Amino acid sequence: MNFIPSLAVLSRSAAVARSANSSRCFARSARLQMTETGVEAPKEDPQDTIFGKIIRKEIPADIIYEDDKCLAFRDITPQAPTHVLVIPKKTISMLDRADETDAELLGHLLLTSKKVAEIDNLGNGYRVVINNGKEGCQSVYHLHLHVLGGRQLSWPPG
């Protein structure tokens, strides 16, 4: 089965890949077992995720940028030569749960994505992606932006 590069992270033992012939999400464990299941959005914003633990420095991450509003770190299952996740320190589970009061923070996340691209010398171009909800293949319910680059990316992505 061919896989187009994934845009999601679950943990050190899991990643998400998208089938080249389908719009379904496929969860892939370290043993390469696959299921056609997405991850349902929680009814309320979760109090803790793997990203919360990274923010609190409870688990290690290759952090390349941090300020008072967000953190950027390298994806442990990169889908391109450069694959960095930019996450807000404020808990917002998904883009659909952001509101008008988050407008400044959302803009800051995009500008941070630009800084990440500069840090990693992505002058030839890069892609910024937000997965939202089950059908968008969101696997960690803490809003995050993927910055992908370092090679020619294909289109369409899904």
First to last CA, the chain: 15
Dihedral through CA 141, CA 142, CA 145, CA 151, nearest 10?
Answer: -60
Tell me how crowded residue 112 is: count the other CB atoms within 10 A of its CB.
23
Dihedral through CA 93, CA 95, CA 99, CA 101, nearest 10?
Answer: 80
Give the residue numbers annotated as catalytic, written as ranges: 144
Nearest alpha-carbon partner for 12 in 73, 90, 70: 73
Q: How far is CA 115 from the centre of its chain?
A: 16
Q: How far is CA 12 from CA 59, 75, 77, 80, 131, in A?
A: 11, 10, 8, 17, 19
